[in-house]
């Protein structure tokens, strides 16, 4: 079966990439979802552990997650989130993403 999911930015992923943050429309198409992947040989950073303690999202059945892992088997799925919350929660999600991007070899990807 050919996937209908299109990824933009995959060309930026290389052997030094530790994390990939995939942004895509939510299932209701009115918001922005986030899936985070880590290379299998990289430890989960504190910022992700903190995030998981407060937001326990798991979207392993998401088609974007499945398709990304099929294309990049050397990565594993970590966590998902979205930007459809009240302002204080959305701010927390954005801060976590910023810290991850700033402190690690991270690539941003968009899927639709």
For the chain, give every domain's residue range. 1-9+40-112
C-beta separation of 102 from 15 below 8 A:
no
Residue 40: phi and psi, rounded to 5, are -55, -30
pLDDT value for 49: 83
C-alpha distances in Å from residue 16, one per residue of 12, 73, 79: 10, 15, 21
Summarize the confidence of residues 12-17 as an average pLDDT: 96
pLDDT tens digits for 61-107?
A: 789 999 999 999 999 999 888 888 889 988 988 999 999 999 999 99
């Amino acid at each position: 079966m050919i996937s209908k999911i299109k990824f933009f930015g995959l060309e930026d992923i290389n052997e030094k990439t530790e994390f990939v943050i995939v942004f895509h429309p939510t299932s209701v198409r009115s918001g922005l979802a986030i899936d985070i992947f880590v290379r299998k040989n990289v430890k989960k950073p504190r910022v992700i552990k903190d995030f998981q303690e407060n937001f326990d999202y798991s979207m392993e059945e998401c088609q974007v997650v499945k398709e990304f892992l099929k294309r990049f088997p050397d990565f594993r799925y970590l966590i998902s989130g979205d930007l459809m919350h009240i302002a204080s929660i959305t701010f927390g999600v954005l801060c976590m993403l910023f810290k991850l991007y700033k402190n690690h070899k991270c690539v941003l990807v968009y899927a639709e």
